[in-house]
Amino acid sequence: MSSTVRVRFAPSPTGYLHIGGARTALFNWLYAKHTGGTLVLRIEDTDRARNTEEAARAIYDGLRWLGLDWDEGPQAGGNFGPYFQSEREAVYQSYLDKLRAADRVYEDAGSVRFLFAREKIVVDDIICGRIEFDMTSAETNPDMTVRRPDGSWIFHFVNVVDDVEMKISHVIRGEDHLSNTPKHVQLYRAFGARPPRFAHIPLILNKDGSKMSKRDQGASLNTYMEGGYLPEAVRNYLCLLGWSPKDNREKLEIDEVVRLFDLEKIHRKNGSFDLDKCTWLNGEYVRELSDDRFHNLARQALQKAGIDFSKFPPDYVHAALETCKGKFKIFSELPGYCGFYFRDDFEYNPDGVAKHFVPENKPRLLAVREAFAALDSFDAADLETALKATAAQLNVKVGALVHPMRLAVTGSNAGPSLYHLLEILGKEKVFARIDRASAKIS
C-alpha cells in the first residue's frame, strides 16, 4: 500500500490516558503499520490551565507501555512540527487571516465566528458510510466560534488547521466526533484544502450500555499499568473492541493483527467493555510467559507489596514462584496468592478459621506434625504419603487434614499445591506454623 497514508493521534494531556484514547491511538497505529504509513502524535494543549508537561508524559508513557511508537511528534521530531498546539500560535493566526481575506469570519462580542456556507454536506465515512448533514439552517447550525474573546482557539479550528498543515490523509477518531465532521469539512473547503478520509470508530460502552466515563472501572490506562497487567494482553483486548479477525479467535499476536487490520473491517456496533474478559485474556498471556520474564514480573509485583527478597536464598524464591505459574490472571493477585512464602505473620482467612480451626482439628494437625517429623526427607511425595496415612489412621477423609493444614501454613483456603509448598517452606517453617495455628485453636 501507499506510504502516503498519514494518520494522527491528537490527545489533550489531562493526567492519564483514557482507555478510549488508547484504543483510538492503537487503531491509528495499526492502520499506519498496515499501510506502511506514518503515525503523527500531536499534543492538543491549548487549555493551559489543565495541561502540564507531567500530563503529556503520562500519554508518552501509556503509548510506550502499549508498544505504540509514533513516527513524528514530541520526542520523535519530524518535518511538520511543532507538535504541541501551544507552540503553533503563528500558524493559527495565518489561517485566521486567510479566512478574513475570504470574508468567512466576523467579530461577535469579542469572539471571532466562522461563517458557514448554508448547504448540505455529504461525508463518505469509511466505517459509518455515506451521511448527509443539512447545514442550511442558521437556527440549528449557528455560525461557529473559532476564537474566544480571551484569544484562545476553539478545538474545531486548530484541529483542522493542524490536519491540513501536517498533511493528514485519514482522520481515525471516536464516533462522538461524527457530528463535528460537517463543520470541519466546511473549514477544509474554506482553506482551499482537500478533506481527509474520515473513519469514525464505535464508542466504548460499559456492560450496561452506558458510555464509558473517566470514573468508570477500567477507564484509565493506569489501572493496567499499575495493576499487574501485561501490555500485550491489554493491547490485544483493545484490538477486539470494535474489530475482529472474523474467525472467533481472541488471542492474537500483534504482527498478525497488523496484517489483517483494515478500516473497512471495523464494526459499526459500539464496543462493550468487559474488564473480566480483559483479565481472562491477561491470564492466557501470563501462562505463556518465558521463565525469565515471569520471574522478573513476579518479583516486581511482590517487591511492590513490600517483600524483601534479600532475606531469602535465590533458590527458595525461584522454587516458590514456580508453584504460582498458571494459577493467577494478573500480577497484582500474586502477593495475596503466595505472600505466605515470605511472611510468617500473615493473617488467617476469617471464613477458613470459622470452618477449619475447630477443636477437633487441633489433635489432627498435631498428628500430621508428628508424622512429618518421622520422615527422613521432606519432599512433596513423602509428605503426601504421610498425610494420607495419618488420615487413614484417624479414620477421616484426606480433605479433613488438607484444609486445616493449608490454612495453618498459608493463612488461606486456596493457593499452590499443598505438598509442594510444604516442601519449599521446609520442616522448620512448617512446624512453627502448625504450632502457631494450634495455639489459635481453643
**Side chain identity, residue 437:** A
Residue 237 host element (H or E): helix 231-239
CA–CA distance, 35 with 258 (Å, rounded to integer) = 9
Is residue 366 classed as helix, strand or coil in its secondary structure? helix
Give yes or no for a contact between 241 and 271, defined as CB atoms under 8 angstroms apart: yes
CA–CA distance, 189 with 334 (Å, rounded to integer) = 57
Is residue 125 classed as helix, strand or coil in its secondary structure? strand
**Residue 214 designated active-site:** yes
Phi, psi (degrees; rounded to nearest 5) at 8: -145, 150
Distances (CA, A) of 18 to 64, 156, 221, 340, 367: 14, 21, 6, 35, 56
Catalytic option among 120, 207, 211, 214: 214
- What DSSP assignment string belongs to 371-409? HHHT-S---HHHHHHHHHHHHHHHT--THHHHHHHHHHH
Distances (CA, A) of 268 to 243, 248, 275: 9, 17, 21
Q: Which residues pair with 335 in a beta bridge?
A: none
Active-site residue list: 214
